[in-house]
Structure 1
Amino acid sequence: MKLIMRADDLGFSEAVNLGIYKAVKDGVITSVGIMTNMEQAYAGYELLKDFDIALGQHTNICAGRPLTDPKLIPSLVQENGEFYSSREIRNRQVDTVVVEEAEREIEAQYLRFKEMTGRDPDYFECHAVISQNFFTALKNVAKKYGLFYENILFDQEFEKENNIYGITMAKLNEKMLYDPKEYVENNLDFIKNHDISVMVFHPGYLDQYILEHSSFTLIRAMECDFLCSKWLKDWLKNNKIELTDFRKVKNG
C-alpha cells in the first residue's frame, strides 16, 4: 500500500511557501502543486526545485489575477480584473464557467509553469473550484499537451483507470480546524484497501495576504506542524505505509 502526501497552494503567499518548504524538508510531503498565476509562485519554486518531489500545476481560477487578458475571460473575472472567489462560484445556482475561457487561462498557467521550471508538470489538477466546465477545460488542455490530469475525489473514472484513489478531506469544525491524528487513523483501512491513495493538505504559515484572501488560516500552520511530527512518521512506519509521488505511479 502506497500513499501520496500532496501539498497544495505553493505560490499563494510568501508564508505559505515557507510552510510548504518546511513540510517537504522536515516532513512527509511528496508532491506539491504550484499556483503559477500568483506573485509568489517563482519564489516558491526556487525553494523546492532541488528536492526529490513531484511538482504539479495547481490550476487556479479563484485567487489573485489571471495571466490572460481579463477581457478575454469575462466569465472568470470581476470588474477589477481579479478572479471571482471560490465562495462566489460555489454559491451560484448554475455552472457559469465558460469552457473556452477557462482553457485560455489554464493554458496560460501551464505555459508559465514551463517558463518557470523548464519542463512539464508531473501532474495537472485544480484549486478549490468544483465546476464540471472547469474540469472539462482542464482535461482538454491536458490532452492537448499530453499532461497527466489528476482529479481525485471528483472523477471516479480517473481513479479506476489509474488505480489512484483520493481520501476525502477532513471535516472541519467551527474554527476551520480538525484533529489530524484522528483523521489519518480513521482512514487507515482505506489506505490498506487501496494500492495507491492520496491525502491532500495545505501546510503553510500565515501572513496578511492569507488572512485577507483565504478561508484556510490556522489550519495551514496546524497541518505544517503535523506533517513534520514524529508521531506521523512513526505512524507511517508502524503501519508499513510506503510514501510515493505522482511521478512514480502515473499511467500505471
Structure 2
Amino acid sequence: MIKVIVRGDDLGYSEGVNYGILKATSEGIVNNVGMMVNMFYARMGYQLIKDEEKICVGLHANISAGKPILPVESIHTLVSDSHFRSSASYRESKKDDVDRDEVRKEIGAQIEEFRSITGFLPKYLDLHAVTSDNFSLGSQDAAADYNITFVPADFSGKLVKWNKTNLKTIVESSQSDYNPMKTIKKAILNRKKGELLLFIFHPGYIDNYLYTHSSLCIPRIQEADLLCSEEIRRLFKNVNIECVRIDCLLNN
C-alpha cells in the first residue's frame, strides 16, 4: 500500500471554490482541506464540508488575499491600504521585507478565527502562495504557539524532512500545459521508496470574484472534475494507493 496526501486548498476564497472543494471531498478523493479563514466565504465554506467525517481541516495561512484579521496599522509590512499585499508584490520585492513577528501575530489571529468558525484548532497549518522565508518562519512560530503541526512544501520538487519521512510536494497547476492526470501519473511513476507524496490541488468553479482576483482559474475546474472521476479511482485502486489524512499520519 502506497500512502499519499491529497490536499484541496483555498476553502473560503469564493463561492465557486467552496463548491468545487465540496464536490472534491463529498464525491472525490480529497480528504485534507486548507481553509483561508480571513476570506468572506470562509464560514460558508466550512458549513458546506463540516459533516464530511473523512476530512482533515487545516489552516491555509494567508497574507496575500483579502483583508487581514488584525488591524492594518499593526501589520504594515503585510498590507496595502486595507487589504493584504498581492502575491506579485512579495515576488517583485528585492528583499524579504516581511516582518516575522507581524506574521506571527496575524497567523495567530487566523488560528483564533479558525477556532471561532469550527470550534476546534486547525489539524495542521500550511502556507498560501507567498514564498517569503519570514512568512514561513513567522507562521511556524504561530503554529508552535498553539502546538499545531506545520506542513512544509518545497515547490521545486526537493524532498523535505517531515514527520520522520521524506515529503515531496507535487503541484503543477501554474504550468501552461497543465494536465492534472499526467501530473499524478508522473509523480507516482517517479516516486522513490520512502517518499511521501503531497498532492496539492485547488478544485473549484469560476465565479466573478475568482475570475477578477485570481490568476488560477481553468486548472481549478480541471481538478474538480478529475478528483471525482472514475479514472482517478481506478488508477489509485490499480496502483494500491491510499489517500491519508494528515492528522492520522501524525497520530501513527
Distance 1:77 1:98 in 2: 11
Q: Which moved more, 1:150-159 or 1:42-51?
A: 150-159
Match of 2:55 among 53, 58, 78: 53
Q: Counterpart of 1:225? A: 225
Distance 1:243 1:114 in 2: 26
SS in 1 for 2:59: strand
SS in 2 for 1:2: strand
Taking a change above 3 Å as real, the CA distance of residues 108 and 218 of structure 1, as seen in their structure-2 partners, is: same
SS in 2 for 1:250: helix
Q: Does 1:96 align with 2:97?
A: yes
Q: Which moved more, 1:151-160 or 1:112-121?
A: 151-160
Match of 1:163 among 162, 165, 172: 165
Q: Counterpart of 1:114? A: 115
Q: Counterpart of 1:198? A: 198
Distance 1:46 1:62 in 2: 24
Q: Which amino acid aligns with 2:42?
A: A
Distance 1:200 1:208 in 2: 23
Match of 1:65 among 47, 64, 67: 67
SS in 2 for 1:150: coil
Structure (1 or 2) with the greater strand fraction: 2
SS in 2 for 1:68: coil
Q: In the TM superposition, what is the alpha-carbon distance from 1:166 to its structure 2 partner?
A: 2.7
SS in 1 for 2:142: helix
Output the aligned Cα RMSD: 1.8
Taking a change above 3 Å as real, the CA distance of residues 201 and 171 of structure 1, as seen in their structure-2 partners, is: closer
On the 8 A contact 1:226/1:232 being kept in 2, the answer is yes
Q: Does 1:135 align with 2:170?
A: no
Distance 2:213 2:173 in 1: 21
Q: Calculate the TM-score normalised by the size of structure 1.
A: 0.93
Count of aligned positions: 249
Percent identity of equivalent pairs: 35
Runs of 5+ consecutive residues of structure 1 not aligned to the other structure: none
Q: Which amino acid aligns with 1:238?
A: N
SS in 2 for 1:9: strand
Q: Which amino acid aligns with 2:187?
A: N
Runs of 5+ consecutive residues of structure 2 not aligned to the other structure: none
Taking a change above 3 Å as real, the CA distance of residues 12 and 32 of structure 1, as seen in their structure-2 partners, is: same
Q: Counterpart of 1:181? A: 181
Q: In the TM superposition, what is the alpha-carbon distance from 1:124 to its structure 2 partner?
A: 0.6
Q: In the TM superposition, what is the alpha-carbon distance from 1:198 to its structure 2 partner?
A: 1.0
On the 8 A contact 1:32/1:56 being kept in 2, the answer is yes
Distance 1:191 1:243 in 2: 15
Q: Counterpart of 2:148? A: 147
Taking a change above 3 Å as real, the CA distance of residues 27 and 113 of structure 1, as seen in their structure-2 partners, is: same
Taking a change above 3 Å as real, the CA distance of residues 143 and 251 of structure 1, as seen in their structure-2 partners, is: farther
Q: In the TM superposition, what is the alpha-carbon distance from 1:189 to its structure 2 partner?
A: 3.2
On the 8 A contact 1:2/1:195 being kept in 2, the answer is no
Q: Which amino acid aligns with 1:142?
A: A
Distance 2:120 2:48 in 1: 17
Q: Counterpart of 1:41? A: 42
On the 8 A contact 2:124/2:151 being kept in 1, the answer is yes
Q: Which amino acid aligns with 2:214?
A: S
Q: Does 1:32 align with 2:22?
A: no
On the 8 A contact 1:167/1:187 being kept in 2, the answer is no
Taking a change above 3 Å as real, the CA distance of residues 17 and 206 of structure 1, as seen in their structure-2 partners, is: same
Q: Does 1:249 align with 2:239?
A: no
Q: Which amino acid aligns with 1:16?
A: V
Deviations 1:132-166 (A, max 9, x none): 00111011111111111111226979524431513
Q: Counterpart of 1:124? A: 125
